Structure 1
Amino acid sequence: MLLAGTAIGQSNAPRQMKPEDIPPQYRPPHPAAKMVDRYFRIDPKRATEDVNGEDALLRSREFKRIDSTYYVSWLYEGAYKYNHAADYLGFKNAIYPLAHALDLLEKDYDKALRVRTDEVLIYIPVYKLQIDYTLIANYLMNCYSNTDQPDQVFKLLLRAKKYNFQNQYYLDVYDYMAWTVHRNRFFTSTKYRFLRNSIDENEALAMRYLDTAMRVIARNKPLNEKFQPNVERGEKMSVYHYRNMLYSYAFQQDSAEHYFGLMRDAGRLPHNNYATFKAVSGDFKTAEAEYKIASQIDNGDKRLQEWAYYTTILDIYKSKPREGIQLAKDMIKAAGTTPGYGWYNIALARCLLYDGQVTEAQKYIDRAADFKETHIGTTLGQSHYEFSVQLLKLIAKEREWSMQQFEHNNWWYNPAVLFAMSGKVSERYMQQFLIINQFAQNPERDRVIYKLFSNESTVSWDEIWYLIHDYSTQYFVKRFEREAQTDTRKYIRKYFKLFSARLKIKQGKYKEAKNELDALLRTGDIEPEYEKMFTARLYQAEAEVCKELKYTEEQNDWLYKLYMIYPQLVPFSGIPMNMTLHVSGNADNTVVEKLKGCNINWITNSSVPTANAYISFSGTGDKKTITYYVVDRNGNYIVQKQGFSWRKADEAGQSLAYRLFDIGSKMPDGEQ
């Protein structure tokens, strides 16, 4: 989930100070001439030059020539480098000037930074320095965080805490302590001294920091209410932001909803985080709407836009992977190689896999694996990133195996195909072994992966099946049965039940699995638009179990329904789809034979529910074209009418087979 927004503009920046503004006891022990340079040569320009502006670096050099010991000179350099950083090296380069600015500020104005008062005339001369301190510390904190130095983050927060500011301005110390602990919750005190020794202990520690933040707000209220009456309200919103993050992670839905509600009432609802919370709760419609709002108020930060990443997963749930493909491509184009680029490649690869474009997906999986992602302002870290990449690699290998089965209806007695499939099996098990070994060291697997839906999960629920279906089947049956009974999210329970039933099919408990699947079909909480993936997997499981029980007519019905709702899944299901073939034009026999050689059950029996595939050949020489479309029994399009040019008959027949399952069809923008 995303960190609370920290966009910093010029409006709150301190304005020009005069020598007499700072009471004598708070002035630094510098010669009068130096102080005159600061107050009459540097500060007047600062009043008109935005510290976050494009000229900040030039102003920094100018200010250093006047007085290189004035913290403002280094603040401008650090702010410029921070605002232009887009990777590890960029943020690392911003650390020195920001740290030096903070050192100089503390050295010259330590007493002024410690002032706490309800007297306006005493507070006005020093509050500008306190604002600057929190501004510098905020930038420096983010630099440490973005260069994977959480120990330095915490050290900085402890350093800032000693000043006990009555107004937190840009640095809500205890909130950021809670955030830092939560972001590193899966480590222990052995790695970072500020942590405890388990996830539960770390989450409890983070919540205590938020409790302390509320006490600090109450303690500061009498000092601020005379001349800063809205401080308390804003600082409470920050605490609520992190409270709902912790409650969401802990699956305490009611508590999370309460704090989201308080933020909504105040006009401060974090739409991205709320969308993720609703998705984890199984309310995908609301989640999509909230992600859309988040996209419209995107402030253009150079970091992962979570709304885009997770919207592509919702597109997969809706059986619209090509919409996710287009969104991911748009984000890649907009982001370039800035933070988020790797995540968007993961999203694109996932959508391509669910659109059946396995070879194309592999290209983007490899691109994501080779990219050094920088994780900015989010609890999603490198371990989440690597797991997502490795899991997609596993799915790609499973689908490569299924492709051999789909492309050769005689695969089970074809030595060359069997040899290729055995190689794919070996690669798949090697990939599973790699993930399991990595995963065994992950203390979050119980609450982030096996829960199927989690705030910190970066994969879809369907992807988890590829991870677990070959391992410890009885263990997972018991686990998912327990989750189906105890999970408080009523719309999520059916997913655990589906996994349990599918695992029982693998165990050979076909009748028991059939009963559970039939019960799921009778449930009234399947959302028809946003849970097409769930429905498709349910139909697929019904077809699989009916095949084993020799319920041929029922199997045909379920397979037909699966094709109707999510045709791209069928070639990888291992069950031949019933189709009726209609060929017209100057048909190429080699193409047709290659098509018929794929694992599709071509039938003419009108009593069997089938999809009707229409294929037309036209053209000659280098301008040969195949036009195709597929309709259901009522004449409604399942695959829209379109065509493609071809030269090699074998490749054309194979490509056509996939296209009849809406794989490789036109993109939403017309791109092929």
Structure 2
Amino acid sequence: MKITNINIVVLFGLFFLGAFNAHAQRIEIDRLEREFRGSYSGRKAYELSQKMIQLDSTYYVGHFFEANYRYERASDKRGYEAAIKSLEKAVALLEKDFPRKLRRTTEIQAYIDSYQYQRKYAFLIYFLAKCYEYVDKPSQAIKVVRRLQNRDFVFNFGISPYSHISWIYLRNRMYSPEKYDFLKPNIEENLEIASRFADSIKTSDKHNQWFLNTYWPDFANDALLSYYHYKNIIYSHQIKLDSAEYFSEQLRRYDRLSHNNYGNLQFIQAKFTEAEDSYETARQNDDYIQKDIKEFDYMQSAIKIFQNDLPSAKSIVENSIKNLGNAPGFGWNNIALSRAYYYSGDLKKSKEFRDKAANFKEIHVGSTWGEVAYDRNTLLFKYLYHKKSISDITFRDKSYWYKPKKLYDISKHHFKQENAHLLLTSELSADPERFIGYYNLFASENNIFFDEIWELIKYFNSDYFIKIFKDKLQEDERERVHKYFNYFIAQFHLEDGDYDLAIKEFERVLEDDYLDETNEKLLIARIHEGLSKAYEEKENMVAANDNLMAFYMNFPQLLPYSDLKMKFNFKVANKTLTPEQEKIVEDLKDCNIEWVENDLNWPTLSINFTKNDKNQVIDYQVEVANDIKFEGNLDLANIEEHPGQLIAFRAFGIELE
């Protein structure tokens, strides 16, 4: 077909009209953006993004709004994957249509014209890299960050490519090149690269310093402070305390100290009062708007367990869940609750929260805690649940050994316990970080604590570990942690039947100048438990009983699940009992407790059957040396079976439903 001059004019006109229309649509989109007031995470932002995309899907602004919305709202892998699609689209369109605006310029008027594009680009790159991290694609995250690095902007709006890459190497240090191709073969090399990138932060803005000082003085020290921050994290991980404290102090001078990280630095030195103060400050400074792992809640809950302040250990985490919901951190919070209920003696609740954690796909946001540690925690509390469930059965009925149903339940728990322990030990033996993490007992990346670490390694070669902990006593500068090394040495001697050596090491812990009777009740209780076992084996029953009583006074919730048997006096206030009440008393006395008479060396459990609104109630009280240790009541209206057993647990401060 022959193209005439008229056709050319028509075609040109149509092209011009289309271009004019597209230009008008972009002007309208820019107007909508300028007039937008509100949060990118709000529904209005999403609706506006869809309107913009409908007007012109080839313009970056609508995708920019949608990307921000999806990123802010994401709370799981699926959400971050959806955000990635929008972010990639927005970045690609911005790069395509505004290449000149995304070039480095030191001419102020040209920079003013480019400012909004460079700002948006920097934030899009940051969000995109974070999304790739959260969906376990750190290699992609590094590639994305390098796109910003290659632009070499005068100002990166607080987003440092070097700090981001340093963080990625630190977070993935334990993996191999087979998993992520950018990594080196071992942890030490990966940490060295992380440290080198952190060093580069300090010098990265030197060629921009005049512009920063002149036009953005509030951000002039950003590179230096970011350098301090990441070096602090790396040195804390390596337990290089003087260096970590130095960088913490530099951050404090500029009011940029992370109180969460500083709390962790104190925690790994067993300075629990200082750690708790820092965690409290971190909590007060956090509005819980950012959905990520709140390490300070998890860690302070552990300190409360060490103190035997179990209600606080639970409430801290419950409030965290209330504030965060099912956002990232939900799984870690459920692990912390599982731990708190485990030490409270409530196995049913501990299992409930452990199962929630195991069934939740955690996204490890804002923390170097990763999937390996998460899975190990859930497996650990599975193992501990089955182990303690055996003790639960034997405590409830000391005649369990001739009841087939209970023997079957014990064998079932034993089988599952052994399977879980086999998996744990095989994982631990293959973990390249076991030396800096678990064997140091307190380490910045270690969120399994000393009492649980003992359960992990107690069946390993005792000579091997005794040597490890003796060497640490000579080499480790953390004086407050030394008593924990002594404790582990004592426990291995006890396992080997070397009772004199065990007693010597246990006593050394009790004599330690740094032993904190407020913050270390769990350790003190375990020491007295070990001493009671050792003295009993040596047939020194006076010392064995003294330590058994000290074990009870420090952490009674542990005793029903121990190999030791507690002694109680027992009193019933009622002069006559109904057959139902006699059965309750019989069930109580069948529990694995040694009942004594009129022996004031032991606690006295008193009960009284009363009525409340026609419901039968058991009032109980535990008295030790004229002081009330526990008291309360048990309403039988909602108790289906074995209230006597529940009263027995109440004598140890364990309130089961």
TM-score (norm 2): 0.91
| C-alpha separation in 2, matches of 1:436 and 1:238 | 38
* CA deviation after TM superposition for structure 1 residue 315, in Å: 1.2
> Do 2:158 and 2:219's aligned partners in 1 also have CA atoms closer than 8 Å?
no
Partner of 2:155: 167
Q: 1:77 aligns with which of 54, 62, 66?
A: 66
Q: Secondary structure at the match of 2:573?
A: strand
Task: Answer whether contact 2:91 2:124 (CA < 8 A) is retained.
Answer: yes
Q: Which amino acid aligns with 2:376?
A: F
* C-alpha contact 2:41 2:72 (8 A) present in aligned 1: no
- Measured in 2, the distance between the counterparts of 1:49 and 1:199 equals 47
Q: Structure 1: which 4+ aligned runs deviate by more than 4 Å?
A: 30-37, 410-420, 646-650
CA displacement 1:403-442 (0-9 Å, x = unmatched):
2332233456777655544443333222110212233332
AA aligned opposite 2:370: G
- Indicate the larger mover: 329-338 or 506-515: 329-338
Residues 172/647 of structure 1: CA separation in 2 closer, same or farther (3 Å cut): closer
Letter matched to residue 177 of structure 2 = S
**SS at 1:162's partner residue?**
helix
Change (3 A) 1:43 1:494: same
Instruction: Summarize deviations over 1:429-466 as a string: whole Å, max 9, x none.
Output: 22110212233332222222222111112222211111
The residue number in structure 2 matching 1:97 is 86
**2:15 — aligned with what?**
none
Rate the CA distance shift 1:110–1:383 in 2: closer, same or farther, 3 A. Answer: same
After TM superposition, the score normalised by the length of structure 1 is: 0.90
Q: Are 1:643 and 2:634 an aligned pair?
A: yes
- More displaced stretch, 496-505 vs 124-133: 124-133
Q: Which residue of 2 aligns with 1:212?
A: 200
Q: For 1:47-62, list aligned pairs within 5 A.
A: 47-50=34-37, 52=40, 54=42, 55-62=44-51
Matched, 1:603 2:596: yes
Q: Is the 8 A contact 2:425 2:457 kept in 1?
A: no
1:171-211: CA deviation from partner (whole Å, max 9, x where unpaired): 21000000011111111222222211100000000010011
The residue number in structure 2 matching 1:226 is 214
SS in 2 for 1:80: helix
In the alignment, does 2:432 pair up with 1:443?
A: yes
Matched, 1:613 2:600: no
State the AA in 1 paired with 2:58: T
Instruction: Provide the residue aligned with 2:615 in structure 1.
Output: 623
Matching residue of 1:116: 105
- Give 1:152's match in structure 2, choosing from 117, 137, 140: 140
Q: Which residue of structure 2 aligns with residue 43 of structure 1? A: 30
Q: Deviations over 1:101-120 (max 9, x none)?
A: 11111122223322231x43
Question: Corresponding residue for 2:361?
Answer: 372
Q: Distance in 1 between matches of 2:146 and 2:640?
A: 70
Amino acid at match of 2:544: Q
- Which residue identity does 2:654 align to in structure 1? I
Question: What SS is found at the alignment partner of 1:454?
Answer: coil
Determine what percentage of the aligned residue pairs are the same residue. Answer: 30
Root-mean-square deviation (Å): 2.3
Give the direction of change, closer, same or farther, for the CA distance of 1:440–1:663 in structure 2 (3 Å limit).
same
* AA aligned opposite 1:595: L
Q: Is the 8 A contact 1:291 1:308 kept in 2?
A: yes
The corresponding residue for 1:459 is: 448
Note if contact 1:590-1:650 (Cα within 8 Å) is conserved in structure 2. Answer: no
Per-residue deviation at 1:538?
1.1
Deviation at 1:592, TM superposition (A): 1.8
CA contact (8 A) 1:131 1:170 kept: no
- Distance in 2 (CA, whole Å) between partners of 1:274 and 1:413 is 55
Q: Partner of 1:377: helix, strand, or coil? A: coil
Q: CA separation in 1, counterparts of 2:519 and 2:583? A: 41
1:594, distance to aligned residue in structure 2 (A): 1.9
**Among residues 562, 571, 577, which one is paired with 2:566 in the alignment?**
577
Matched, 1:291 2:283: no
Distance 1:540 1:328 in 2: 29
Q: Which moved more, 1:503-512 or 1:644-653?
A: 644-653
Matched with 1:20 is none
Q: Is 1:115–1:126's contact at 8 Å kept on the other side of the alignment?
A: no
| One-letter identity of the residue aligned with 2:592 | N
Measure, in 2, the Cα distance between the counterparts of 1:509 and 1:60.
Answer: 72
Task: Give the aligned partner of residue 624 of structure 2.
Answer: 632
Determine the C-alpha separation between the residues in 1 that align with 2:227 and 2:19. 43
Count of residues in correspondence between the two structures: 633
Partner-residue secondary structure (3-state), 1:616: strand
Cα gap change, 1:508 to 1:78, in 2 (>3 Å): same
Q: CA deviation at 1:32?
A: 7.5
Q: How far, CA to CA, are the matches of 2:213 and 2:364 in structure 1? A: 38
Please name the residue that 1:306 is paired with: 295
Partner of 1:382: 371
3-state DSSP class of the match of 1:142?
A: helix
Tell me: CA distance 1:646–1:546, structure 2 relative to 1, closer, same or farther (3 Å): farther
Matched letter for residue 77 of structure 1: E
| Separation in 1, partners of 2:472, 2:419 | 29
Matched, 1:542 2:531: yes
Cα distance change of structure 1 residues 439 and 97 upon mapping to structure 2, 3 Å threshold: same
Q: Which residue of 2 aligns with 1:516?
A: 505
User: Does residue 223 of structure 2 align to residue 235 of structure 1?
Assistant: yes
Letter in 2 for 1:210: A
Change (3 A) 1:62 1:359: closer
Q: Which has the higher contact order (CA 8 A, sep 6+)?
A: 1
Q: Does the residue aligned with 1:639 lie in a helix, a strand or coil?
A: strand
The CA distance in 1 between the partners of 2:265 and 2:24, in whole Å, is 54
1:405 and 1:411 in contact (8 A); partners too: yes
Distance 1:622-1:393 versus aligned 2 partners, 3 A rule: farther
CA contact (8 A) 2:292 2:329 kept: yes
Residues 428 and 65 (structure 1), Cα distance of their counterparts in 2 relative to 1, 3 Å cut: closer
Cα contact 1:137–1:171 (8 A) shared by 2:
no
**2:4 maps to what in 1?**
none
Summarize the Cα distance change of 1:416–1:58 in structure 2 as closer, same or farther, 3 Å threshold. Answer: closer
SS at match of 1:630: strand
Instruction: Find the aligned partners of 1:359 and 1:350 in 2 and give their Cα distance.
Output: 12
CA distance in 2, matches of 1:291, 1:231: 27
Moved more, 265-274 or 215-224: 215-224
Amino acid at match of 1:604: E
- Verify: 1:660 aligned to 2:651, yes or no: yes
Map 1:330-341; keep pairs closer than 5 Å. Answer: 330-341=319-330
Please say if 1:273 is aligned against 2:249: no
Matched, 1:131 2:119: yes
The CA distance in 2 between the partners of 1:229 and 1:394, in whole Å, is 55
In 1, are the aligned partners of 2:264 and 2:275 still within 8 Å (CA)? yes
Q: Please state how far the C-alpha of 1:356 moved relative to its aligned partner.
A: 0.5
CA distance in 2, matches of 1:463, 1:496: 14
Counting only pairs closer than 5 Å after superposition, residues 7-18 of structure 1 correspond to structure 2 as none
Instruction: State the Cα distance separating 1:263 from its structure 2 match.
Output: 1.2
1:554-593, aligned counterparts within 5 Å? 554-585=543-574, 586-587=576-577, 588-593=581-586
CA distance in structure 1 between the partners assigned to 2:445 and 2:135 by the alignment: 20
Please identify, of 531-540 and 416-425, the stretch whose mean Cα deviation from structure 2 is larger: 416-425
- The 8 Å contact of residues 509 and 515 in structure 2, kept in 1 or not, is answered as no
SS at match of 2:220: helix
* 1:5 aligned partner: none
Which segment is superposed worse, 411-420 or 570-579?
A: 411-420
Name structure 2 gaps, 5 residues minimum: 1-17
1:247 partnered with 2:235: yes
Equivalents in 2 of 1:620, 1:519: separation in Å? 51
In the alignment, structure 1 segments of 5+ residues that lack a partner are 1-29, 666-671
Say if 1:414 and 1:181 are closer, same or farther in 2 by CA, change over 3 A.
Answer: same
Correspondence 1:189 to 2:181? no
Q: Is the 8 A contact 1:318 1:533 kept in 2?
A: yes
C-alpha distance in structure 2 between counterparts of 1:142 and 1:268, whole Å: 22
